[in-house]
Structure 1
């Protein structure tokens, strides 16, 4: 299927014209500024943006390409942007990054998506990690103090990540020990709901020459919540040592630890209906958490890197990575409807479980350049092997008390009596892959990127009494991209990428279905101005997910006891849309990040799917550093707007179909920072300035969750 034919022109053309018009306007303005500078014959000044990077990135292709050279939609959240907006968790990053969004499941879990599909994996320094169910072991709460930046590649990313959805890949880039002299910062903040944080980040050489360097990060946060009873305590430790063993050999070892200890955690959301069938309207502070409920989690990571430069632009990277996510769950789920007069009607389901997800990964990558037909080309070869063990142990409960009047819920609900621990799930996932990609310089202006991956994936074990044993071998994942530089400022690109997701369904012959395939077609224009300080991207994309299992009539799997439904592969969902991004420094001291995303996602019958995620996003954030008498002052402001989202549900009282909908809304933020000296600064952040009341999710198990009200944080930062 060609990209041109697959696009729904009528649905997209209006948005494309809007995006192209905005991009052309930005281009014209920038080129006019360039012309004026040339006319005045002033000295050229290299402007470096705080919101983008010109570094070489491996996240999309493994070839070490810049954002401008990569034939996919790639965005970066820099450390400066993270600091300006006071973004403290991965969920904060997602809520502000271009083209991706999140919805809350409850107080401790968030679900991410892009282009209409769920994001089900992420990376740490390019090593793929798989989410646990809904991020229930702290993944979405990863503390940003650990990372130098966060990279997001949208679309299918199977070349480097292996299995997953055609949505996006989020790469968390660790901080490294790259300073030979003592440097770092100490930060302390105080915010609404008695929230206090303290962070220290220190790097230094560990020997006289600086060939051995170290870096340590410590962060602590403690506070309450806008929800009644709730609070959270987070502790983070990170340490890394980089050693230049020789001029060509770098060895790096490090480890991190994050401990999340929340109180009065919720599981699920608030009830949506009263017992008379009408809709509820709770205060934002209302909770279903109890004094004893907690969704505690820890994340441990240990890693070692060996990087050897052969000379002649060839480099070998070897990595060993272990990631352990543990969760200790003491929760209660409330279901049912509430009587308007008595407050009764909810049914309690207490839950006690301990989970552990332990993943070991090994990877090797060889990259370099070679000569062919008089031109220099790039090549990368890689292999990765990972094994993940997951175990969940639960306890039965007795002496479960009734909820009573939910209007008077104060968290004093008694904890049930817990029984002996038993294994609910014990599973093992093995994934292996080898990949190769090359960038061919057909001419100085025309580059062709070709690549592919061969993967094996297998899951075995038991899940709630049912055996699990399925997978696929020799899955081929192709990659292709074209980049044509129109001139020094603009380049056209197109790409074709794939990803796969194994499925545990069998056909009428007893064979497992082939994996679900996700295919991403993309075409766009990338531009750069002011010596790469300002980047713009306009993208049209088409994402197709196929081979989805559908019930095969009355056919059953042969030999299954009891008889199991047989399935057949079918066409799945298709997402078509447009993205626009403008990021960088417009003029000295003025940084901007603007993005707009619009898409439509439908199944093979033309019915809208995944409607619980917004299909339209607009995100703007800008900072301005004054000069002259106000040169110590920086101000910033932003707005995150998203279109409506909904879930089709059934009213449990009337039995009628109802749409649970969150209308479009905007969240406004402000920041001001004052430099008392070159080392000491104070900063004030205000989030949700207009105190917008909104649902962070509506319809997940027909319940609802409120977003955070206005929040104010004051901080002081000392750099050395």
Structure 2
């Protein structure tokens, strides 16, 4: 069996080696035994108390990091069938998933958009904070979310959060898994994962594939997805290691909505449609192809120091036709909406190189850590919109929800005013250190200098920008008792924006500061961590959406000042034998320059809980529940969604050592709720649904 699996693995990853895919990291196992009942007990983990480099690039545990760190482990991903990043991040305390339409999503934390996304600790901020295609979780081992500004490792930061996706790594031990699932609305999915040694003690590899297809609770909407991920790693010498990898995520959706359902009727009253209502016609579609290629070379420099070079290329190609409906319909006839049809094509390219050294040194009887490096990024954003005279802001009839609006001929295209071409270079230089003043007291200091040069245009607006900033970071931790850590951190905020103002001129960069104070406590013999934190931040020239320019199609923004503050309480880990919990409560408030509450589409209070328990009375049975609660949200000063709670349940039963059955029931109470009202429109979230699966592991 080992020989057969190894041969299959070698053939599978051979294409990855030839294609020059890339990334490296020390081989890690998941910490779970593949042995069956009566042999080695399987250990499940929610959260993570091992080392994380997301916040500082230093070797710190969650306890030692002077910021709130939330971790979604592979066990939690599998238990709750969190197959899409949207569903995963919905379980992260303090994070909101602002799905403004079926194919585009923003994420927020602490009142602001999350724009910093990393893979294995490396990446550059998204230009718009907007994601498309909804990344799949099949290739990830766990996801770390560090709250607050992380200016030390990114240089560009909102005081929201940084999301770090940790990809699966090859293992020396041969492992394999297959899974098949079937769910509501004829959704099916197949997953495969194989890992092990290709050449004994020299070359390890891993291959992950997934295929998903099905309809949706939304009328006419359906999506198909294909995921591929291949990675190999090995040693050149005893002190030199490398990793090569490549991943692709291709998705196609039918009847994808552009915008969402109107929130208000023409008389000012709130709309109340069926959950399945969709503004998109049959001919609307969206294709998104995302490719990531990465390489890493790591060299030991003596016993305590390491040099690392990482190169990543990311390509995102997208195309969709859409019918955007705006306005407020008549409450009786449903007529009165305006239609805006378009064909949109875009291609984003990122090339990022990161070179740094890290290690430890002795001084004054203590061991200290140091990281210094350079990050070079070249980003190109291109896109164009093609319109039609016939359906460019013309009224549609009362039957728009039936999706029968005719497909127009797209023929109006003006390269000068309906396209985007932006070239941006981001070069940064950074240094950080952890100075252990005593065994209990540590100080973290760092600075990062960012130099940005940008040229190009977007829908008739010039995108010329040249800016540089030095962003400092400081943190302190004090272990007052064993397992009890007091901490504080400070970081400045610097984030260039591609938004334009009413004159179609670049808005400029956001500047500000972020502070956090808290205490972390190890509990239950160190198997779980409890965090209590207070945070506050201030920003100037933050881009606030004002309107959509009908002539160019551009979103118009204005620069405003914001202040936010709040508290977070989180608990993650194994709190009793066999009982795992990931839970958190968040309160956040955002005010503008006048002291008025703003960004009220974000709930001010959230509570999230994910728990799982291995029943001792029924060998092989694991059950759990999840709760996502939030208070009311607003569009402007009008409450559009009251408080609600979503409840999910799951059960997993090991039929044999290798074979497991699982059942997931989502939104058990069949709660009717709106997704993000950020744009003044909103679709409804999914009603009650069920997924059954069978999985085999070797």
Q: Does 1:225 align with 2:216?
A: yes
The corresponding residue for 2:201 is 210
Cα distance in 2 between the residues matched to 1:311 and 1:518 = 40
The aligned residue for residue 623 of structure 1 is 612
SS in 1 for 2:682: strand
- Pair 1:632–1:500, CA change in 2 (3 A): same
Residues 1:502 and 2:490 aligned together: no
State how far apart, in whole Å, the 2-side matches of 1:276 and 1:390 are: 41
C-alpha separation in 1, matches of 2:255 and 2:619:
45
Q: How do 1:95-494 residues align onto structure 2 when only pairs under 5 Å count? A: 95-131=90-126, 133=128, 135=130, 137-138=132-133, 141-177=134-170, 179-207=171-199, 209-400=200-391, 404-407=396-399, 409-419=401-411, 423=415, 424-473=419-468, 475-494=469-488
Q: Partner residue of 2:66? A: 71
Cα distance in 1 for residues equivalent to 2:339 and 2:559 = 39
1:70 to partner: Cα distance = 0.7
Q: Which runs of 5+ in 2 are unaligned?
A: 1-39, 545-556
Q: Residue 31 of structure 1 corresponds to which residue in structure 2?
A: none
Contact between 2:149 and 2:158, CA under 8 Å: does it hold in 1? Answer: yes
Residues 549 and 219 (structure 1), Cα distance of their counterparts in 2 relative to 1, 3 Å cut: closer
| In 1, Cα distance between equivalents of 2:235 and 2:646 | 46
Contact 1:364 1:383 in 2 (8 A): yes
Q: Which residue of 2 aligns with 1:5?
A: none
**CA 338–63 in structure 1, closer or farther in 2 if over 3 Å, else same:** same
Contact preservation (8 Å) 1:472, 1:514: no
> What is the Cα deviation at residue 421 of structure 1?
5.5
Determine if the alignment matches structure 1 residue 680 to structure 2 residue 659.
Answer: yes
Structure 2 equivalent of residue 638 of structure 1:
626
| Structure 1 residues 503 and 320: CA distance shift in structure 2, 3 A | closer
Aligned-partner Cα distance in 2 for 1:357–1:107: 20
For the aligned residue pairs, the C-alpha RMSD in angstroms reads 2.4
1:24 matched residue in structure 2? none
Paired with 1:615 and 1:481, the residues of 2 have a C-alpha distance of: 27
Using the TM superposition, give the Cα deviation of residue 488 of structure 1 relative to its aligned residue in structure 2, in angstroms: 1.6
Give aligned pairs, total.
Answer: 640
Quote how far apart the aligned CAs of 1:93 are.
Answer: 1.6
Q: What is the rounded CA distance, in whole Å, between the counterparts of 1:278 and 1:68 in structure 2?
A: 49
Q: Which of 543, 546, 570 does residue 581 from structure 1 map onto?
A: 570
In 1, Cα distance between equivalents of 2:518 and 2:331: 54
1:188 Cα offset (Å): 0.9
For residues 648-688 of structure 1, what are the alpha-carbon distances to aligned partners after superposition, in whole Å with 9 as ceiling and x for unaligned? 1xxxxxxxxx6142111100010111000121101101111
Superposed displacement of residue 396, structure 1: 2.9
Return the index of the structure with the highest Cα Rg: 1
Question: Residue 530 of structure 1: CA displacement?
Answer: 3.9
Name the CA shift for 1:506/1:285 in 2 (closer, same or farther; >3 Å). Answer: closer
TM, length-normalised to structure 2 = 0.88
- SS of the residue 2:157 aligns to: coil
Distance 1:278 1:420, change over 3 A: closer
8 A Cα contact 2:338 2:396, kept in partner: no
Residue 612 (structure 1) aligned to one of 601, 607, 612: 601
Question: Aligned in 2, Cα 1:538/1:134: closer, same or farther, shift over 3 Å?
Answer: closer
Deviates more, 1:334-343 or 1:94-103: 334-343
8 Å contact from structure 1 (residues 48, 585) kept in 2 = no
Separation in structure 2 between the aligned mates of residue 206 and residue 391 of structure 1, nearest angstrom = 40
TM-score for both structures, normalised by structure 1: 0.85
Q: Deviations over 1:389-411 (max 9, x none)?
A: 01112223144397654346422
The CA distance in 2 between the partners of 1:191 and 1:303, in whole Å, is: 34
CA distance in structure 2 between the partners assigned to 1:505 and 1:236 by the alignment: 32
Structure 1 residue 419 displacement after superposition: 1.8
The whole-number CA distance in structure 1 between the counterparts of 2:258 and 2:498 is 27
Is the counterpart of residue 94 in structure 1 residue 72 in structure 2?
no
Paired with 2:234 and 2:108, the residues of 1 have a C-alpha distance of 38
The structure-2 alpha-carbon separation of the partners of 1:214 and 1:420, relative to structure 1 and needing over 3 Å to count, comes to farther
Give the deviation of 1:106 after TM superposition: 0.6
State whether structure 2 residue 681 is matched by structure 1 residue 703.
Answer: yes
- Please say if residues 460 and 470 of structure 1, whose CA atoms lie closer than 8 Å, have aligned partners that are also in contact: yes
Is structure 2 residue 662 aligned with structure 1 residue 667?
no
